[in-house]
Amino acid sequence: MKIGKFKYNGEIFTGIVEGSTAHKIDNISIEDIILKNLIKKINHLKSAEIPLDKVEYMPLLKPGKIICFGLNYKSHAAEGGWEVPQEPVYFEKSSSCVIAHRAEICIPDGIGRVDPEVELAVIIGKECKNADTVDAESCIAGYTILNDVTARAMQKTDQSKKYPWFRSKSMDTFCPIGPWIVTPDEINWKDELKVELRINGEIKQSSKTTNMIFQVPELIMAITRYLTLYPGDIISTGTPEGISPIKNGDVVECEIEKIGILSNPVVSNDHNFTSQS
């Protein structure tokens, strides 16, 4: 099942996506579906059918935590000159930077190079602490696509000063997520999912989730050793090689097999901006 959040004729609604149509589900938010474990119980609540080409996509939810994993593909570590981690390395993005499918990525003036990063994201469906492999799988409510937009020049400067990289990852609009959530009956972390990022139609990143160093249960186990995960939290599993800069007027498409395409235009008012800095 694919579950999204949409706006049509001024009304925001949750919808079950089938083909090119969103079926309205009245008075139930995605947060409630996850928190109350209603995923298997909502299919019969479908009502009005609205074509997807008529809707505005809305942010799926506002997660309590967005935990991202760095250097989870050997090829990405190699291209950046970083050591391959011996254990999962994670950091947090602010939930305030989440935007929806088709919303604009806005690059602030004067920050230098900015890169998008395509990643498989996991939506947590129940409270989870000190997870083992079985617990880790059972707490997954679904999967989506996350674009871990990064102010690369700023990140490198902060790293050189041994500062945290939170600000380079958490600027407003730097976390497109979507276009919808796909439930575990249609997708599984064990699937060999193709992961691809395109800028203006040109392929920049292309890999498969099976190339991740640490797979989804290992990532959940690593987090919950120290932190409790709650319903609606999001885990982003890392990006492959091929990071490339974006600039004003670009369109970024992140595609993951069995999920779909997350597409966002890029806007910048910085006339001194250089994508290579």
Instruction: Measure the CA–CA gap between 61 and 69, rounded to whole angstroms.
Output: 20
Of 103-107, 138-142, 156-160, least confident by mean pLDDT is 156-160
Give the tens place of pLDDT for each residue, 247-262.
Answer: 999 999 999 999 999 9
Q: Count how many residues are written for the chain.
A: 277
* Residue 40: CB atoms within 10 Å: 9
Q: How far is CA 134 from CA 76, 138, 220, 221, in A?
A: 29, 6, 11, 10
Domain ranges of the chain: 2-57, 66-268
pLDDT value at residue 121: 98
Give the tens place of pLDDT for each residue, 213-241.
Answer: 999 999 999 999 999 999 999 999 999 99
Give the tens place of pLDDT for each residue, 7-29.
Answer: 999 999 999 999 999 999 978 99
E strand intervals along 63-110: 66-70, 89-93, 98-99, 105-107
pTM: 0.94
Give the tens place of pLDDT for each residue, 113-138.
Answer: 999 999 999 999 999 999 999 999 99
Whether the predicted pLDDT of 2 surpasses 70? yes
- Residue that is written with structure tokens 């009502």 in the block: 47
Please name the residue ranges forming H helices in the chain. 30-35, 74-80, 133-138, 152-160, 166-169, 216-224
Whether the predicted pLDDT of 277 surpasses 50? no
CA dihedral for 114, 121, 193, 182, sign (positive or negative): negative
Residue 152's H or E segment, with its range, is helix 152-160
pLDDT value at residue 271: 53
* Residue 110: CB atoms within 10 Å: 10
The percentage of the chain sitting over the pLDDT mark of 90, rounded to a whole number, equals 81
CATH class as words, domain 66-268: alpha beta
Instruction: Measure the CA–CA gap between 72 and 214, rounded to whole angstroms.
Output: 6
Whether 147 contacts 175, CB under 8 Å: yes
